[in-house]
Chains A and B, each alone.
Chain A
Amino acid sequence: MHRDMSVKEAERKIAEKSMNIQPRVKVSATNLNFFYGKLQALHDVSLDMEENRVTALIGPSGCGKSTFLRTLNRMNETIPGTRLEGTVTLDGRNIYREFDEPSQIRTRVGMVFQKSNPFPKSIYENVAYGLRVNGIKEKHLIDQVVEESLKRAALWEEVKDKLDHSAFMLSGGQQQRLCIARALAVRPEVILMDEPASALDPISTSRIEDLIAELKNSFTIVIVTHNMQQAARVSDYTAFFFEGQLIEAGETQQMFTRPGIKKTEDYITGRFG
């Protein structure tokens, strides 16, 4: 299956090259400093994330990966006493300045969390939630989007007969795919994933990885992971964080074979972290 993917992947890259499609920068962070009260969690971080690519954020625990991720959809603003300096742009527009409401950003930049966190509602209502809170009322439209999202999250076949069952009836892996479907339903352009598979068994993990490979055809994906193999498998670009700083970022292939900085190499080869 993985081989299959990488063949497809290679074909796609060749096709893109032959059609001369330049990957476009979708999300761009510039000179980010982030503070939890007095604690500075990010130091002058700048990183571009390209469309239809997977960018992996790696680094030891507490280095600021989640913090960085949450600045990209303004989730950081939900924590009182925090402060951000620098800019984040989506398609060139500053997400902190040029939008009236954070919710407008969050429907365009979706998020999947480490621990699967379905709402205590039915499977259907979980996926429909984002539509409802954004003012979609038409039943047929919601039906359609729910089905479509579950299909894209590769969950439809498993749940299509029990859409009204509680989401907690699902297994851990299924719950996480439900959370992905839920995020897809509002049709985001970017999907942020914070260690989406860290709590799952190997089989569920590989299904999520396949899903990510599939989804990147339509989305910009940024994923935090502690698993180096996973980063190598799913991502096109990798960014290495250490103590709140972005140490090195580049093509995954290159980062994992010829890292430019000693610290990156040490981390990737498991010498610390």
Chain B
Amino acid sequence: MATRAFVTDNPAPVETLSFRPKSSGVIPRGLTFLAVLLILLILAIIMGSIVWGGAGVVSWDFLSSPPEDGMEAGGVFPAIFGTVALVLLMVIAVVPIGVLTAIFMQEYTTPDSRFTRLIRVAINNLAGVPSIVFGLFGMGFFIAFVGGGLDTLFFSNSDGPVWGQPAIIWAALTLALLTLPVVIVSTEEALKTIPRELKEASYALGGTRLQTIWRVIVPQAMPGIFTGAILAISRGAGEVAPIMFTGAAYYLPYLPTKLNDQFMELGYHIYVMATQSPDIEKTKPILFGTVLVLLLLTFALNSVAVVIRSRMRKSRADAS
């Protein structure tokens, strides 16, 4: 405890300040640490229970064979196939658009221009639109408007709808919009870290803006683009609400081969088995196995993204 007085000619009356010894701060430390512990615990319980329930089920056979007996036996191959096909289509759509948007935002405009701000607001809001609203939109826009439009224009004499029905392409495009912000943000992050000197060197050599972007900026940003694509896949592979009405099917005896085929998907498969199974006890092992497969898939993708990203940050940090 320190006691001290002013020696002063200041008019203000002087009192002695006696500082009190400080508490050690165990309470804020302890409470916040408790939050961390709880999160880790919950995570462990979720992972543990799913691995516990699913590990015995997942085998090569499980991964490579179709469901049988109303999903009470067999595997999940069509759902895996559908999921992979879905996210591949999605990535093909979302990556070029996302990357070009990021390039536009970082290289072509000043962050304060009104247009840029508008686009920024749009990107942020797109990221916040509930996924079920994307589902509604996919149904109203892609299936009814685009697909229906195609049908009236080109297939007016066919029996049923050709494009104006749930299909893997519509589901993939819906997901592409949903994951667009992921790709944009990740690419932008990469673009921001490219040293200005590199671009200036290219300009100084007489490169045009387009050449500079194509030859210097995009190659440099490749890890960021890759990360964005993987994060988008991981996100897309787990979303169910947007594809429920735009293309996913309960059960299909065949694999999707055309863009306007329906498809089975892991997340949707889980939802259907968990909520509509006539005998949940019989479905349970397969259900846990499917969840484990989906979880492993998303985690594997995420880990790859995290590793690339941290490598990228590190190499940048070393370089500067």
Q: Per the CB under 8 Å rule, do A and B touch in the complex?
A: yes
Residues of A that sit less than 8 Å from B by CB: 101, 103-104, 107-108, 131, 133-136, 141, 144-145, 147-148, 151-152, 186-187, 189, 217-218
- B19 to A135, Cβ gap below 8 A? yes
Q: Which residues of B have CB within 8 Å of A131? A: 17
B10 pairs with A151, CB closer than 8 A: yes
B19–A136 CB distance below 8 A: yes
A141 contacts B15, C-beta separation under 8 Å: yes
Quote the shortest CB–CB distance from A223 to chain B (angstroms): 21
Residue-wise interface mask of B (1-43) relative to A, using a CB-CB cutoff of 8 A (1 in contact, 0 not): 0101011111111110101111000000000000000000000
Cross-chain contact A151 with B12 (CB below 8 angstroms): yes
Complex Cα distance, B212 from A133, in Å, reads 54
Residues of B within 8 A of A (CB): 2, 4, 6-15, 17, 19-22
Main secondary structure of the interface of A (DSSP, over half): helix
In the complex, what residue of chain A is closest to B11 when comparing beta carbons?
A151
The answer on a CB contact under 8 Å between A218 and B8 is yes
For B5, give the chain A residue with the smallest CB separation: A187
Closest 3 CB pairs of A and B: A135-B20, A148-B12, A134-B19
Q: A187 is contacted by which of B6, B9, B13 (Cβ under 8 Å)?
A: B6
Contacts of B9 in A (CB 8 A): 217
Q: Is the CB of A148 within 8 A of B22?
A: no
Chain A residues with Cβ under 8 A from B21's Cβ?
135
In the bound complex, do residue A104 and residue B10 qualify as a contact, i.e. CB atoms below 8 Å apart?
no
Chain B binding surface SS class:
loop
Q: A131-B17, A141-B15, A144-B15 are in contact. Are A103 and B22 (CB under 8 A)?
A: yes
Q: A148–B10 contact, CB under 8 A?
A: yes
Cα distance, A219 to B249, chains bound together (Å):
80
Residues A144 and B22 in contact, CB atoms below 8 Å apart:
no
6 contacts between A and B (CB under 8 A): A103-B22, A131-B17, A134-B20, A141-B17, A144-B15, A218-B8
CB atoms of B12 and A218 under 8 A apart: no
Partner of A147, one of B6, B12, B19: B12
Report the bound CA distance from A135 to B15 in whole Å. 15
Using A141-B15, A144-B13, A145-B17 as known contacts, say yes or no to A104 and B8 having CB atoms under 8 A apart: no
- Cα distance A131–B4 when bound, in Å? 13
Instruction: Enumerate chain B residues within 8 angstroms of A101, measured Cβ to Cβ.
Output: 22
A189 to B3, CA, bound (A): 12
Please give the distance in Å from B236's CB to the nearest CB on chain A.
40
A218: B residues at CB distance < 8 A = 6-8
B8, A108: Cβ atoms under 8 Å?
A: no
Complex interface: chain B residues within 8 A of A133 (CB): 22
Check if A107 sits within 8 Å of B2, measured CB to CB. Answer: yes
Which residue from chain B places its CB closest to the CB of A141 in the assembled complex?
B15
Which residues of the partner chain A approach B22 to less than 8 Å between Cβ atoms? 101, 103, 133-135
In this complex, what residue of B is CB-closest to A135?
Answer: B20
Contact A187 B4 (CB under 8 A): yes
Q: Which residues of B contact A141 (CB under 8 A)?
A: 15, 17
Cα-based distance from A152 to B13 in the complex (angstroms)? 13
Cα A103 to Cα B2 with chains together (Å): 11
CA distance A204 to B34 in the complex (A): 49
* Assembled-state Cα–Cα distance A151/B15 (Å): 16
Residues of A within 8 A of B10 (CB): 148, 151-152
The smallest beta-carbon distance between A159 and chain B, in angstroms, is 16
Complex Cα distance, B15 from A93, in Å, reads 25
Cα A145 to Cα B19 with chains together (Å): 13
Chain B residues with CB under 8 Å of A151's CB are 10-12
Please determine whether B19 and A107 come into contact, CB atoms closer than 8 angstroms: yes
Residues of A within 8 A of B7 (CB): 218
Contact partner of A136 among B6, B11, B13, B17, CB < 8 A? Answer: B17
Most chain A CB within 10 A, of B9, B10, B17, is at: B17
Q: How far is the CB of B34 from chain A (nearest CB, A)?
A: 24
How far does the alpha carbon of A151 sit from the alpha carbon of B17 in the complex, in Å? Answer: 18
Q: A107-B19, A134-B19 are in contact. Are A144 and B12 (CB under 8 A)?
A: yes
User: How far apart sit A262 and B12, CA to CA, in the bound complex (Å)?
Assistant: 48
Instruction: Give the Cβ gap from B21 to chain A, nearest Cβ, in Å.
Output: 7
Contacts of A144 in B (CB 8 A): 12-13, 15
**Docked complex Cα distance between A136 and B4 (Å):** 13
> Nearest CB to that of B20 among chain A residues?
A135
Q: Note all chain B residues with C-beta closer than 8 A to A134.
A: 19-20, 22
Bound state CA distance, A218 and B19, in angstroms? Answer: 20
What are the residues of chain B within 8 A of A145 when measuring CB–CB? 17
Given the complex, which residues of A lie within 8 Å of B12, measured CB to CB?
Answer: 144, 147-148, 151
Which A residues touch B4, using CB under 8 A? 108, 187, 189
Q: How far apart sit A187 and B6, CA to CA, in the bound complex (Å)?
A: 7
Distance in angstroms between the alpha carbons of A94 and B2 in the assembled complex? 16
Contact of B2 among A104, A147, A217 (CB under 8 A): A104
Q: How far does the alpha carbon of A131 sit from the alpha carbon of B266 in the complex, in Å?
A: 60
Q: Of all chain A residues, which has the CB nearest B9?
A: A217
Extra pairs beyond A144-B13, A144-B15, A186-B17 (20, CB < 8 Å):
A101-B22, A103-B22, A107-B19, A131-B17, A134-B20, A134-B22, A135-B19, A135-B20, A136-B19, A136-B20, A141-B15, A144-B12, A145-B17, A148-B12, A148-B14, A152-B10, A186-B19, A187-B6, A189-B4, A218-B7
